[in-house]
């Protein structure tokens, strides 16, 4: 339903979005995931119509909304798209109901229809009892619910979210993820959600576009990013904990521990934390490490050690004794191999 064809964006000659193409079906929940500065907000702003691409086309269904080549851009108000930011941007002098009513007024809907839509949106976000309060009289989490209600009231076909939960505390953030998905499912809209938080992406998305330096590293279902990362960047960015990327050279782990199973190249081997064992004694594929940290996680422990300056994380049971001379035993085969440019080769 949303499709991008070779979309690029430059600011003063610097490309911040570089040749991006993908499409998602109607009703998808697409997450644009990547580190700060990778171009995800710029992508979202181009979808909203707040920025114009310098190259390529954006379509919502059959409707062309922007074409960098010809300079065509459908104005934001005619894209049937709603946008929610990190800052709630509510009108402080209007009540909750007034804020939600505002886009409906702008769209010149009849008063009765407006009243019904406000009630419906407040009901969906569980804020009916706040209708007559002012933004200054409600909490941050409630303000974000009002911002969401205001966005869905006009029933947009496309919902755009720019890190909408990052101002909320951790508990509220988890709760709001669920609320947001409920709203997404109830409206049937196609959503695009920007975040740098991979947990958010993994728990919410139907499709994820992992971005790095303005390009899409991988466009896939969340579980595929974990199971089959297409680059070292993706492997190191997703997962809790992310997989280890251990340098290899000349068929040796860390350039020092020979292993016939390793290819004779310089690059990185992906090794999942749960496949590393703790060892008391030296043996095949064991690496001496200096203990760096031990972190409890869901009844188990993440044990991180450093070997040759490389941090390696293993998962152990909480009851396992940590050897005084800590060693990690690497698995017989790496889960993936990446070349020196980070491209997956096996």
Exposure on the CB side of residue 8, measured as CA atoms within 13 A = 11
> Shortest approach of ligand ATP to residue 163 CB, angstroms?
7
Residue 155, helix vs strand vs coil: coil
Interface mask (CB under 6 A) for ligand ATP, residues 21-50, using x and -?
Answer: -------------x-xxxxxxx--------
> Shortest approach of ligand ATP to residue 139 CB, angstroms?
25
* Choice between 212 and 313, CB closer to ligand ATP: 212
Residues 137, 114: Cα–Cα separation, whole Å: 24
> Shortest approach of ligand ATP to residue 83 CB, angstroms?
14
Residue whose tokens read 């079906």: 25
Interface mask (CB under 6 A) for ligand ATP, residues 190-229, using x and -?
Answer: ------x---------------------------------
- Residue 223 backbone dihedrals phi, psi, to 5 degrees: -65, -30
Residue 228, helix vs strand vs coil: coil
By CB atoms closer than 10 A (0-12, 13-18, 19+), residue 33 is buried
Q: According to DSSP H, which parts of 26-139 are helical? A: 40-48, 96-106, 111-125
* Choice between 43 and 100, CB closer to ligand ATP: 43
Residue closest to 22 by CA, chosen among 57, 73, 72, 62: 57
Cα 335 to its chain centre, rounded Å, is 23
Contact 62, 2 (CB under 8 A): no
CA quadruple 10, 11, 15, 20: dihedral positive or negative? negative
> Shortest approach of ligand ATP to residue 317 CB, angstroms?
37
CA quadruple 227, 233, 238, 244: dihedral positive or negative? positive
* Choice between 66 and 246, CB closer to ligand ATP: 66
* Choice between 36 and 70, CB closer to ligand ATP: 36
Nearest residue to ligand ATP by CB is 41
Number of residues that bind ligand ATP (CB under 6 A): 11
> Shortest approach of ligand ATP to residue 44 CB, angstroms?
8
* Choice between 34 and 68, CB closer to ligand ATP: 34
> Shortest approach of ligand ATP to residue 48 CB, angstroms?
12
> Shortest approach of ligand ATP to residue 43 CB, angstroms?
7
Sheet containing 252-253: order of strands: 257-258, 252-253, 244-249, 267-271, 336-339
Kindly identify the residues of this chain, within the stretch 252-281, that bind ligand ATP according to CB under 6 A. none
> Shortest approach of ligand ATP to residue 225 CB, angstroms?
18
Q: Which residues contact 20 (CB under 8 A, 6 or more apart)?
A: 4, 6, 7, 8, 43, 56, 209, 214, 215, 216
* Choice between 151 and 194, CB closer to ligand ATP: 194
> Shortest approach of ligand ATP to residue 86 CB, angstroms?
9
Instruction: Locate 158 and state its tokens.
Output: 């496309």
How many other CB atoms are there within 10 angstroms of residue 231's CB atom? 19
* Choice between 41 and 304, CB closer to ligand ATP: 41
Cα Rg of the chain (Å, integer): 24
* Choice between 16 and 287, CB closer to ligand ATP: 16
> Of 2, 16, 83, 314, which one interacts with ligand ATP (CB under 6 A)?
16
* Choice between 196 and 272, CB closer to ligand ATP: 196
* Choice between 42 and 190, CB closer to ligand ATP: 42
Kindly identify the residues of this chain, within the stretch 103-162, that bind ligand ATP according to CB under 6 A. none
> Shortest approach of ligand ATP to residue 16 CB, angstroms?
4
Q: Catalog residues that contact ligand ATP under the rule CB under 6 A.
A: 11, 16, 34, 36-42, 196
């Amino acid at each position: 339903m949303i499709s991008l064809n070779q979309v690029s964006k430059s600011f003063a000659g610097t490309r911040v979005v570089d040749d991006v193409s993908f499409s998602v079906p109607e009703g998808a929940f697409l997450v644009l995931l990547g580190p700060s500065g990778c171009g995800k907000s710029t992508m979202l702003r181009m979808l909203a119509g707040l920025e114009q691409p310098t190259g390529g086309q954006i379509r919502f269904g059959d409707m062309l909304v922007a074409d960098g080549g010809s300079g065509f851009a459908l104005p934001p108000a005619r894209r049937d798209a709603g946008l929610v930011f990190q800052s709630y941007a509510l009108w402080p002098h209007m009540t909750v109901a007034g804020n939600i009513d505002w886009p409906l007024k702008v769209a010149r809907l009849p008063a009765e229809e407006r009243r019904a839509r406000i009630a419906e949106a407040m009901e969906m976000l569980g804020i009916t009892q706040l209708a007559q309060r002012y933004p200054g009289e409600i909490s941050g989490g409630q303000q974000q619910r009002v911002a969401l209600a205001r966005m869905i009231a006009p029933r947009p076909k496309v919902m755009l979210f720019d890190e909408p939960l990052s101002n909320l505390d951790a508990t509220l953030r988890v709760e709001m993820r669920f609320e947001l998905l409920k709203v997404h499912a109830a409206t049937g809209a196609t959503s695009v959600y920007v975040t740098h938080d991979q947990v958010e992406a993994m728990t919410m998305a139907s499709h994820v576009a992992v971005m790095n330096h303005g390009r899409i590293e991988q466009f896939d279902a969340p579980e595929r990013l974990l199971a089959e990362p297409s680059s070292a960047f993706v492997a190191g960015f997703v997962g809790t904990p992310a997989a280890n990327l251990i340098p290899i050279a000349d068929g040796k782990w860390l350039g020092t521990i020979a292993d016939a199973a390793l290819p004779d190249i310089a690059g990185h081997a992906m090794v999942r934390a749960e496949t590393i064992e703790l060892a008391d004694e030296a043996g095949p594929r064991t690496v001496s490490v200096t203990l760096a940290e031990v972190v409890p996680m869901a009844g188990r422990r993440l044990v991180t050690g450093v070997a040759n300056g490389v941090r390696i994380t293993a998962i152990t049971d909480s009851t396992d004794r940590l050897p005084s001379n800590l060693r990690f035993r690497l698995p017989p085969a790496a889960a993936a191999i990446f070349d020196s440019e980070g491209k997956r080769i096996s």
